Amino acid sequence: MQLLITLVIVVVILLLLALAMALKIVKQYEQGVLFRLGRLAGTRTPGLRTIIPFVDVLHRVSLRIVTMPIQSQGIITRDNVSVDVSAVAYFRVVDAVKSVIAIENVHAAINQIAQTTLRKVVGQHTLDETLSETDRINLGIREILDVATAEWGVEVTLVELKDIQLPDSMKRAMARQAEAEREKRAKIINAEGESLAAAALGDASDTMMAHPLALQLRNLQSLVEIGVDKNTTVVFPAPLMSTIGELGAFLSRESAAAGTPTPPLPPTSDPVDPAKAEAVHEPGPNNKPGPSQRVG
């Protein structure tokens, strides 16, 4: 009796083990590839699936996008500059059967071919193209990987260059080049400003030649600007006397054109007022000229 109980227990345990081996769960983001006695028996969709123990083998393949970093590669560009370039690739399995049958390890294979493709594509470009045309390089790498991985049931969705390491000597050379470019732009801008200023001054001088009073007004404005800070020094511009002469000539022309006599110009020097002179010569009772006083 005890032997029968033991036998029943063993059978139940074996049945439970067989049931556990026969029941498989395929997740929503997976697809099952079933092999029966070594031959392909089709695929299994997500859910609870049953197989025959010791006869069927179910491989679950993930259909999610995989992020695979491509380690830094030492590359010599077309203009013989050594750079270290790293990238990242995104791919996903679109055909679970091919990814299992056509290649042993799809992730390792894509990693290796991505490294060789990165060296090949970047080596065909110069350093300036590698730094400025990354979109075109990314597209070229992706197209090559798509062709190579199509037979494996894999689709490469995106490839991006992640980091480009330059030698220290090249960094210094690029810094000097950028500094020289900035200086060139600064000199060009300064020259353009001088040209515009010269043109504006030329126009201003033509206007002042046509209107002599404009120069006098400009001189007066300069005097006002000087006197803002309450300076004790008064500066008279050198062309003041010539301006007065030009003003007299202008008034003469205007009077001749209008048919009226020309008004007399003010004297260029300050003569002594006769009234003041008489006041000095005729002292009052309380104003006697001393020995040191002068009558001008």
Alpha helices in the chain (DSSP H): 2-22, 96-101, 106-123, 127-132, 134-149, 168-210, 212-226, 240-258, 274-281
86-95, 107-116, 130-139, 197-206: which range is least confident on average? 197-206
**55-111, pLDDT tens digit by residue?**
889 999 999 999 999 988 888 888 888 899 999 999 999 999 999 998 889 999 999
Residues in the chain: 296
**246-285, pLDDT tens digit by residue?**
767 777 887 888 765 545 545 544 444 444 434 344 444 4
pTM: 0.58
Instruction: Using alpha carbons, select from 288, 248, 293 the residue that is nearest to residue 267.
Output: 248
